Structure 1
Amino acid sequence: MKTITDRHTERPQSAASVHHFVMKCGGSTLAALPEVFFEDLRELQQKGMAPVIVHGGGPAISANLEKLGIETEFVNGLRKTTEEVLDVVEMVLAGSINKQIVRRIQSAGGKALGMSGSDGGLIQAKPVAGSAEVGWVGDVTEVESSIINGVLDMGYMPVIAPIGVDASGQRYNINADTAAGAVASYLGVDRMVVVTDVPGIMQGSGRQKKVLSTVTVQQIEDMIATGEIYGGMIPKVRAAISCIHGKVREVVIVDGSEPGVLSRVLTGEIIGTRIVRM
């Protein structure tokens, strides 16, 4: 596993004072976030808290496949990815969504640089187990963290689309949560922030409903089994769990529409739900 490279001394922030964190967000969630969210990102960047963003884009991919008349199906939660589907996945993730996020950050006064995992071999991949059923879907084998550190050193926040590549140049569609967890782990980050459209993991019903501040992976599995976590919340928590990978020991689920949510998480405020490994 690679370690973080030394930072250039000519930057105004010294190596010791720069703190970066990995943020994962769905493409549709990011598109709907208010302007204050991007202003918060800009302020964090100006303070030397360097965000590394990994994004998804499932709904936009589905909409474009439908528009083009290309059939799509899911096998065990993974999109079956033929070469034809992969062309659309890359076009949407590395193209329209990635650039939309970059534009929104820059419109708020931040500095961002968009890339996909195939650029410079940033995210190296191999076929997932059972690839005969799902096609070109990949697992991460390595993250070239020096590329991310180079972008951070130039004063930009990296915005990464989860496309992977292998030594032969074959592209892979990688689950955004898996990619985000791997990026965080290779950067040596132990905590990741998952931005969603919910305030966290809820327990109870009606007026008794409350956000759980801390929950373990096992507790989540138990709550799914008992029906306390149900419906659309199940894929959200499963996605967050899949980010707990390698060195990543906890994931914080937060609602991106909360004012100053990232700053509040990073300064230790109890907000959203912390999912911990143990």
Structure 2
Amino acid sequence: MNSTLNQEETMPGNKAGGDMFVMKCGGSTLAALPDSFFEDLKGLQEKGVQPVIVHGGGPAISGNLEKLGIETEFVNGLRKTTEDVLDVVEMVLAGTINKQIVRRIQSVGGSALGLSGSDGGLIEARPVANSAEVGWVGDVTHVKSSILNGVMEMGYMPVVAPIGVDASGQRYNINADTAAGAVASHLGVARMIVVTDVPGIMKSAGGEKRVLPTVTVQEIEDMIGTGEIYGGMIPKVRAAIACIHGKVREVVIVDGSEPNVLSRVVAGEVLGTRIVRM
């Protein structure tokens, strides 16, 4: 870690630890969740537990691109991002989706503040290795955790859109799972929660699929190899693996429709799948 990160993480008021967690959720998943989910978020905030939300919005981006007649394609799971596509990505993620989430939290009495990774240079990025194929897609190089801590010190829940920026001001489209993992790592939280529309990582046993309560990094690699983990779950588990270092001990994948799912996970109840490094 560089000296800037170390300085930020030792600043007075840094809340890294057991009273904070990073939550990642897709925009379409969040839109489908009931008010009770957001009331649970508000309740945690009132108890002094600080959620930091990083969201996606893939289906909404695709829908808007289609309406505008802009072609889009995926290369190894990453959206090929031209300047035209990037304009729509930023509009949807930092605009529509981000503000919808903020409004839903505030509609149940919570306090939230929406941010893009461009704001204050919150998420610093560089081109991915295969940028020649995928365009303006970025990898996270640094997260200014002092900005997020400042927002929380003011009593607001940060809601972060995964847009990155480099020193020249170039924008990057960043996979939301990757961004959430980077935010968790740089904040030094103990737990990251991935809210999805599935109950966890499933494994076939005796002719039926069951949720694995705990899975190790090696078991995940084996399941990807055999095809038991596939499609959109692969970037989720890869991002989880990437952020399990330093103070981040575990990533929990849960179904957002479970009643009071966040407060139950924070309280230590076994729900969904815990990904741990052995």
The answer to whether TM tops 0.5 is yes
**Which amino acid is 1:108 matched to?**
V
Question: What corresponds to 1:66 in structure 2?
Answer: 66
1-side partners of 2:17 and 2:48: how far apart?
Answer: 7
The whole-number CA distance in structure 2 between the counterparts of 1:261 and 1:65 is 33
Partner of 1:269: 269
Q: TM-score, normalised by structure 1?
A: 0.91
Offset at residue 18 of structure 1 (A): 7.8
Within 1, Cα distance between the matches of 2:43 and 2:268? 17
Alignment of 1:161-172 (within 5 A): 161-172=161-172
Shift of 1:55: 0.3
Distance in 1, Cα, partners of 2:165 & 2:206: 47
Give the structure 2 partner of residue 185 of structure 1: 185
CA 1:141–1:228 in structure 2 vs 1: closer, same or farther (change >3 Å)? closer
Change (3 A) 1:91 1:16: closer
| Cα separation, partners in 2 of 1:117 and 1:16, compared to 1, 3 Å | closer
Deviation at 1:205? 6.3
Match of residue 11 from structure 1? none
CA drift of 1:251 comes to: 1.0
1:206 offset after TM fit, Å? Answer: 8.5
What secondary structure is seen at the aligned counterpart in 2 of 1:43?
helix
1:52-105 deviation per Cα after TM superposition (whole angstroms, max 9, x unaligned):
000001111011000000000111111111111000000000000000000000
SS in 1 for 2:270: coil
User: In 2, are the aligned partners of 1:241 and 1:275 still within 8 Å (CA)?
Assistant: no
CA–CA distance in structure 2, aligned partners of residues 137 and 169 of structure 1: 14
Counterpart amino acid of residue 188 in structure 1: G
Report the counterpart of residue 129 of structure 1 in structure 2.
129
Mapping 1:1-278, distance limit 5 Å: 1=1, 2=5, 3-7=9-13, 19-204=19-204, 208-230=208-230, 234-243=231-240, 244-245=242-243, 246-247=245-246, 248-278=248-278
- 8 A Cα contact 1:61 1:88, kept in partner: yes
Determine if contact 1:4/1:146 at 8 Å carries over to the other structure.
Answer: no
Is 1:22–1:180's contact at 8 Å kept on the other side of the alignment? yes
Q: Does structure 1 retain, via aligned residues, the 8 Å contact 2:18–2:190?
A: no
RMSD across aligned positions (CA):
1.9
**Which residue identity is paired with 2:65?**
L
- Once the two structures are TM-superposed, the CA of residue 219 in structure 1 deviates from its matched residue by 1.0
Decide which moves more: 24-33 or 246-255: 246-255
* Displacement after TM superposition at 1:242 (Å): 1.3
> Aligned-pair distance for 1:209?
2.9
Distance 1:16 1:103, change over 3 A: closer
Structure 1 residues 128 and 227: alpha-carbon distance in aligned structure 2, compared to 1, 3 A threshold: closer
CA offsets 1:207-228 (integer angstroms, 9 cap, x no match):
8432110011221222233344
Question: Is the 2:216–2:276 Cα contact (8 Å) retained in structure 1?
Answer: yes
TM-score by length of 2: 0.91
After the TM superposition, list the runs of 4 or more consecutive aligned residues in structure 1 that deviate by more than 6 angstroms: 15-18
Q: Which amino acid aligns with 2:262?
A: L
2:71 counterpart letter in structure 1: E
SS at match of 1:70: coil
- The 1:188–1:48 alpha-carbon spacing in structure 2 relative to 1, beyond 3 Å, is same
Offset at residue 112 of structure 1 (A): 0.2
Kindly tell me: are residues 237 and 249 of structure 1, through their superposed partners in 2, closer, same or farther at Cα, counting changes over 3 Å? farther
Alpha-carbon distance in structure 1 between the residues aligned to 2:55 and 2:236:
12
Task: Report % sequence identity.
Answer: 76
SS in 1 for 2:268: coil
8 A Cα contact 2:18 2:189, kept in partner? no
For structure 2, the residue ranges without an aligned partner over 5 or more in a row are: none
Q: Deviations over 1:137-184 (max 9, x none)?
A: 111111011000000000000000000011111100011111101101
The CA distance in 1 between the partners of 2:206 and 2:44, in whole Å, is 36
Contact conserved, 1:17 with 1:48, CA < 8 A, in 2?
A: no
Instruction: Give the distance between the partners of 2:44 and 2:198, measured in 1 at CA.
Output: 22
Amino acid at match of 1:7: G
